[in-house]
Structure 1
């Protein structure tokens, strides 16, 4: 993830979302960066997949698999030492699947207390049985919201 001359200027926020759930916080380290000194996009994607699986786990109540990355947008580069906050919310439940939105905010090491949205992604997870086949979600009424 490199700085692009066409990348839009980052909007600095003074607070984090209140309509989403904080599901992960992590600080990228030097081993997670590319030759340009920015954090690998694949590392960010892996963290988003982990963060995205938190809410669906409440609905699948068992094994699940990531079946789709419906959207993935890198808005700003992630740097070594950023404090990343991953927020998620339920977008949709189906018969066997759950779709969630994940938004990632960076608190830069030198500008703590200010946040920049760096990534946004939408994932779909499917409940699977012991043989890896899709299975119906347990009763949605029993799943927490």
Structure 2
């Protein structure tokens, strides 16, 4: 999949993380699961702010891995709110990297994540609408 050179990140930068050698697969690229965990954490931060409290991840869909992440890349995860439901919030989340040595920004993966607001007992609760 070729990236549109005019495309820029949408939404809010939530996380910047350095990709380290301990997170690589046998081919030397960063594990997709590690990248997905960064995206989930970033979405959780954003969803918790919207829901004003605890949230849990209920779905990650439309996950597309576009480019590999390399050791030394700075992974930047952006969240873009797309929907607020009665008890849930949905974000388009994209991971971009700043490639070591050349400063080039490259989109590496994207997905849609949905989170549900929960109370102290773990039961769904309404998302505030003010």
Tell me the TM-score normalized by structure 1: 0.83
SS of structure 1 residue aligned to 2:35: helix
2:48 corresponds, among 57, 60, 68, to: 57
Max radius of gyration: which structure?
1
Q: 1-side partners of 2:74 and 2:97: how far apart?
A: 6
Cα offset, 1:67, TM superposition: 0.5
Unpaired stretches in structure 1, ≥5 consecutive residues: 1-7
Cα offset, 1:10, TM superposition: 4.7
RMSD: 1.6
Cα offset, 1:11, TM superposition: 4.8
Q: 2-side partners of 1:26 and 1:16: how far apart?
A: 19
Partner of 2:70: 79
Instruction: Give yes or no for contact 1:100–1:123 (8 Å, CA) kept in 2.
Output: yes
Q: 1-side partners of 2:83 and 2:3: how far apart?
A: 29
State the aligned residue count: 130
Is 1:117 the counterpart of 2:107 in the alignment? yes
Instruction: Give yes or no for contact 1:11–1:117 (8 Å, CA) kept in 2.
Output: no
SS of structure 2 residue aligned to 1:53: helix
Partner of 1:41: 32
Tell me the TM-score normalized by structure 2: 0.92
Unpaired stretches in structure 2, ≥5 consecutive residues: none
